[in-house]
Structure 1
Amino acid sequence: MRKAPGGYRSRREWHAKARRLHVLEDRLARERADWEAETVHAVRGGKRLARARRHLPAARLTEGEWRQRWEAARWFLQADGESGKRFGNETIRIGPDGEVSIRLPVPLAGLANAPHGRYVLTGRVRFTHRGPEWADRVAANRAVAYRIHHDVQRGRWYVTASWTIPAAPELPLAAALAEGVIGVDTNADHLAAWRLDAHGNPIGDPRRFFYDLTGTAGHRDAQVRHALTRLLHWAKACGVKAIAVEDLDFTAEKTREEHGRNKRFRKLVSGLPTGRLRTRLVSMADQTGTAVIAVDPAYTSKWGAQHWQKPLTSTMRNTSRHDAAAVAIGRRAQGHSIRRRTAPPRAHQSDGCGHRTVQARPEAPGREGPRPRFAGPRTRSVPPDRRVNVGHQNAQHRSGRSAEHESWQQDSLPLGLQER
Structure 2
Amino acid sequence: MLLELVVDELAWLEASIRTIAHRLSLPVGERGSKRAPGGYRTRQEWFAKTRRLHLLEERLAVERADRESGRVRVVRGGKKTARNRHNLTAAQLTEAEWRQRWEASRWFLQADGESGKRFGNETIRVTPDGEVSIKLPAPLAHLANAPNGRYVFASRVRFHHRGAEWADRVLSNRAIAYRVHYDVGRSRWYLTASWTIPPVKTVPLPEARKDGLIGVDTNADHLAAWRLDEHGNPRGEPRRFFFDLDGPASYRDAQVRHTLIRLLHWAVRRGLSIAIEDLDFAAEKTREKHGRRKRFRKLISGMPISKLRARLVSMAAELGITIVAVDPAYTSVWGAQHWQKPLTSKTRKTTRHDAASVAIGRRALGHRIRRRTAPPPAHQSDGPGHRTAQAGGGTPGREGTRPRIPGPRTRSTGTGCGANAGDQDAQHRWEHPAELVQLMLSL
What is the TM-score normalised by the length of structure 2? 0.67
State how far apart, in whole Å, the 1-side matches of 2:48 and 2:139 are. Answer: 61
Q: Is the 8 A contact 1:243 1:293 kept in 2?
A: yes
Instruction: Give the counterpart of 2:162 among 130, 153, 157.
Output: 130
Q: Displacement of 1:195 after TM fit?
A: 1.1
Q: Is the 8 A contact 2:400 2:421 kept in 1?
A: no
State how far apart, in whole Å, the 1-side matches of 2:71 and 2:141 are. Answer: 37
AA matched with 1:221 = D
Are residues 19 and 102 of structure 1, via their aligned partners in 2, closer, same or farther at CA, if it must alter by over 3 Å?
same
Instruction: Give the counterpart of 2:321 among 273, 276, 290.
Output: 290
Question: Does residue 1:313 correspond to 2:354, yes or no?
Answer: no
Q: Is the 8 A contact 2:85 2:98 kept in 1?
A: no
RMSD (Å) for aligned C-alpha atoms: 4.0
Residues 286-333 of structure 1 deviation map (CA, whole Å, 9 limit, x = unaligned): 332323222222222232233322332333322222212111111101
Q: Secondary structure at the match of 1:336?
A: coil
Match of 2:400 in 1: 359
Match of 1:341 in 2: 372
State how far apart, in whole Å, the 2-side matches of 1:268 and 1:143 are. Answer: 38
Match of 2:223 in 1: 191
Question: Does residue 1:164 correspond to 2:196, yes or no?
Answer: yes
Q: Displacement of 1:47 after TM fit?
A: 5.7
Q: Is the 8 A contact 1:6 1:260 kept in 2?
A: no
State how far apart, in whole Å, the 1-side matches of 2:283 and 2:85 are. Answer: 41
AA matched with 2:223 = L
Question: Does residue 1:322 correspond to 2:353, yes or no?
Answer: yes
State how far apart, in whole Å, the 2-side matches of 1:316 and 1:54 are. Answer: 57
Q: Displacement of 1:208 after TM fit?
A: 0.6
Question: Does residue 1:235 correspond to 2:276, yes or no?
Answer: no
State how far apart, in whole Å, the 2-side matches of 1:44 and 1:331 are. Answer: 49
Residues 41-63 of structure 1 deviation map (CA, whole Å, 9 limit, x = unaligned): 34555566667778888874547
Instruction: Give the counterpart of 1:140 among 160, 172, 181.
Output: 172
Instruction: Give the counterpart of 2:114 among 82, 87, 108.
Output: 82
Asked which structure has the greater RCO (Cα within 8 Å, sep 6+), the reply is 1
Q: Secondary structure at the match of 1:309?
A: coil
Are residues 32 and 106 of structure 1, via their aligned partners in 2, closer, same or farther at CA, if it must alter by over 3 Å?
closer
State how far apart, in whole Å, the 1-side matches of 2:286 and 2:184 are. Answer: 43
Match of 2:9 in 1: none
Residues 158-201 of structure 1 deviation map (CA, whole Å, 9 limit, x = unaligned): 21222232222322222222232111112232211111122222
State how far apart, in whole Å, the 2-side matches of 1:29 and 1:343 are. Answer: 63
Q: Secondary structure at the match of 1:136?
A: helix
AA matched with 1:282 = V
State how far apart, in whole Å, the 2-side matches of 1:173 and 1:132 are. Answer: 32
Residues 379-415 of structure 1 deviation map (CA, whole Å, 9 limit, x = unaligned): xxxxxxxxxxxxxxxxxxxxxxxxxxxxxxxxxxxxx
Are residues 79 and 223 of structure 1, via their aligned partners in 2, closer, same or farther at CA, if it must alter by over 3 Å?
closer
AA matched with 1:359 = G
Identity %: 68
Question: Does residue 1:32 correspond to 2:64, yes or no?
Answer: yes
For structure 1, which runs of at least 5 residues remain unmatched after alignment?
Answer: 366-420
Match of 1:403 in 2: none
AA matched with 2:216 = V
AA matched with 1:189 = D
AA matched with 2:57 = E
AA matched with 2:65 = A
* Deviates most, 169-178 or 272-281: 272-281
Q: Is the 8 A contact 2:331 2:360 kept in 1?
A: yes
Q: Is the 8 A contact 2:197 2:314 kept in 1?
A: no
For structure 2, which runs of at least 5 residues remain unmatched after alignment?
Answer: 1-27, 32-37, 383-395, 403-418, 423-443
Residues 206-252 of structure 1 deviation map (CA, whole Å, 9 limit, x = unaligned): 10111223344444333333222211111111111x22122334566
Q: Secondary structure at the match of 1:167?
A: coil
